[in-house]
Amino acid sequence: MQVPSRVPAGSGGFQVAPGVTARDLDGEIVALDTRSNRIHQLNGVASLIWRLATEGGTPEAIVDAVVSGHEVDRDVATKDVDETLERMRSLGLLVFR
């Protein structure tokens, strides 16, 4: 899994970036980035990843939750979690703690 190597040592995982407000609407996260005036609507799995990441979940724990809650191969889940966290970080929605 690539994400752990991107998480700085001693980091507490991820937190919502400054300027981003997120709400849960019927089980899906909607994030407003006030810096770019963009709204991001996450699907169910991305919303799960967001919730767990912002609650301090490790990438491995997030993969475990995705695998246990969905019919997906662990390798696929690992890749998807890695890519989703990196995308959220690169969009400026999440930052390292």
Q: pLDDT tens, 3-50?
A: 443 554 445 689 999 999 999 999 999 999 999 999 999 999 999 999
96 domain-assigned: no
Region 45-73 average pLDDT:
95
What gap in Å lies between CA 61 and CA 14, rounded to an integer? 13
Q: pLDDT tens, 70-83?
A: 999 999 999 999 99
97 domain-assigned: no
18 domain-assigned: yes
- Domain CATH for 66: 3.90.930
How many residues would you count in the chain?
97
DSSP line for 22-60: EEEETTEEEEEETTTTEEEE--HHHHHHHHHHHTT--HH
55 domain-assigned: yes
Residue with the larger pLDDT of the pair 92 and 6? 92
Q: For residue 51, with 0-12 CB atoms within 10 Å meaning exposed, 13-18 middle and 19 or more buried, which class applies?
A: middle
Region 57-86 average pLDDT:
95
**Total structural domains within the chain:** 1
pTM of the predicted structure, to 2 decimals? 0.87
> What is the domain extent for residue 45?
3-7+14-91
